[in-house]
Structure 1
Amino acid sequence: MLPTVIAVSIASLTVGYFVGMGRSLVSYNSNSRRILSASDDDDSDLDTDDEMAAIADNYSSSGKGLEGEECKMILAVRMDIKMEKGKIAAQCGHAALAAYKAARKVTPKFIKQWEKRGQAKVAVKCPDEDTMLELESKAKELGIAARSIIDAGRTQIAPNTRTVLGLGPAPVSLMNQLTGHLKLL
């Protein structure tokens, strides 16, 4: 009798486990598909088509002759707000992804160069929001993709605070012209 109870218990646990896993996998896959389909064409974090075209035009004029140069991405972190190391890392991740998504549309040749040559990323200190906005404006004039991250304010920082500016990827010479005066983080 006892061996039968143990066998039925083991069989029940095994079946229950696999049924539960199957249900969670089905749920996971349907959620993944829904998220992917919603985000495939979601460019809400990018500028309007007119702004993107203007940046691309600036790229066409400033990017001539730089097609073979090594490219890098710059992450300019605001120093006037207090962020813990983990918060800085998370915000830099957001900025890198946002800049990359913008650069795919604006400067695809620079993206290819950057991907082939190591995907260099450099974090620098940005003293304040005014400097960050100035850098973003100059970057767009030079035809460099630029995206500033505005924090939602769920953890350490007040809502709607600009934290990190992602720049590029773009040729090292253009990036140095733009951010060469900033110190490394």
Structure 2
Amino acid sequence: MKQAIVARTDVGMGQGKLAAQVAHASLSAYEKADRRAQDRWKQGGQKKVVLKGESERQLHELSEIADSKGIPNALIRDAGHTQLEPGTVTALAVGPAEEDLVDRVTGDLSLF
């Protein structure tokens, strides 16, 4: 079991903002998973990777692919209280799901 979080590199988030957006994405996608996937992921150490995303469009495309494969995922939009404009898409979490399924969606991306 694995979760991949894709964070945008093109919006200029500071390290703290990036960490918060990744955390939002991880929890949001976890909450969309069924109980069995949640339990298996938690028992397996909550494996996750953070990957580089190039654009809002890319995150939407990856979300659509995950949806088509039945993989829980969550797109995160910033509230706009600090560094970014309200509604800016910042991150996408894919999974938790079987590692090979997550890799079919995000396997070509580079580690952050």
TM-score bin, normalised by smaller chain: over 0.9
- 1:176 paired with 2:111, answer no
Which whole-Å CA distance do the structure 2 matches of 1:178 and 1:165 have between them? 11
Residue 101 (structure 1) aligned to one of 31, 34, 40: 31
| Secondary structure, counterpart of 1:148 in structure 2 | strand
Is the helix fraction higher in 1 or 2?
Answer: 1
Residue type at the aligned position of 1:137: E
Q: Which runs of 4+ in 1 moved over 4 A?
A: none
Gaps of 5+ in 1: 1-70
Q: Tell me how many residue pairs correspond in the alignment.
A: 112
Q: Spell out the pairing of 1:23-34 with structure 2 (5 A cutoff).
A: none
Which whole-Å CA distance do the structure 2 matches of 1:78 and 1:89 have between them? 12
Which whole-Å CA distance do the structure 2 matches of 1:184 and 1:130 have between them? 19
Q: CA deviation at 1:109?
A: 2.1
Residue type at the aligned position of 1:182: L
Is the strand fraction higher in 1 or 2?
Answer: 2
Gaps of 5+ in 2: none
Q: Percent identity?
A: 40
Alignment-derived partner of residue 75 in structure 1? 5
User: Which one has the largest radius of gyration?
Assistant: 1
| Secondary structure, counterpart of 2:100 in structure 1 | helix
| Secondary structure, counterpart of 1:167 in structure 2 | strand
Which whole-Å CA distance do the structure 2 matches of 1:135 and 1:167 have between them? 9
Could you say which structure has the greater relative contact order, defined with CA pairs below 8 angstroms and 6 or more residues apart? 2
| Secondary structure, counterpart of 1:155 in structure 2 | coil
Q: Spell out the pairing of 1:51-130 with structure 2 (5 A cutoff).
A: 71-103=1-33, 107-130=34-57
